[in-house]
Amino acid sequence: MLYDGQAPHWMAFGIAATRLRRSLKTGLTTVGLDETVEILRARHREEQLRTGNIVAADRSWFFTLYFDATGTELLACNGAKNERASRGDGQKLQL
């Protein structure tokens, strides 16, 4: 699914960076998230991006896609495993 509209680069970067920090803190299994943050960090902050997602058929993985403003060039992709990760306060976190 590719979302309609565009998001400011700084917003997409901030969300990816926050997801990385939280996944490291909670032990959530991710793939490509650190690379995504680095790719987005290197982009011009005034750019507009389009985002999308892919959810595995069995809902075991959730992938986030980052495209240029036209939606034609894939810039980065990362995935998070849909698992219960322990949080410090005893609650469970699930995507």
Question: What are 48-71's pLDDT values in tens digits?
Answer: 999 999 999 999 999 999 999 999
Q: Say yes or no to pLDDT of 46 above 70.
A: yes
Tell me, what's the pLDDT at 85? 42
Question: How confident is the prediction for the chain on average, in pLDDT?
Answer: 87
Which two tokens mark 74?
A: 């894939």
Q: Say yes or no to pLDDT of 91 above 70.
A: no
% of the chain exceeding 90 in pLDDT? 74
- Rounded CA separation 20/56 (Å): 20
Q: Say yes or no to pLDDT of 88 above 90.
A: no
- Rounded CA separation 61/69 (Å): 25
- Rounded CA separation 94/87 (Å): 11
Q: Say yes or no to pLDDT of 87 above 50.
A: no
Residue with tokens 């309609």: 4
- Rounded CA separation 56/67 (Å): 20
What is the reported pTM? Answer: 0.80
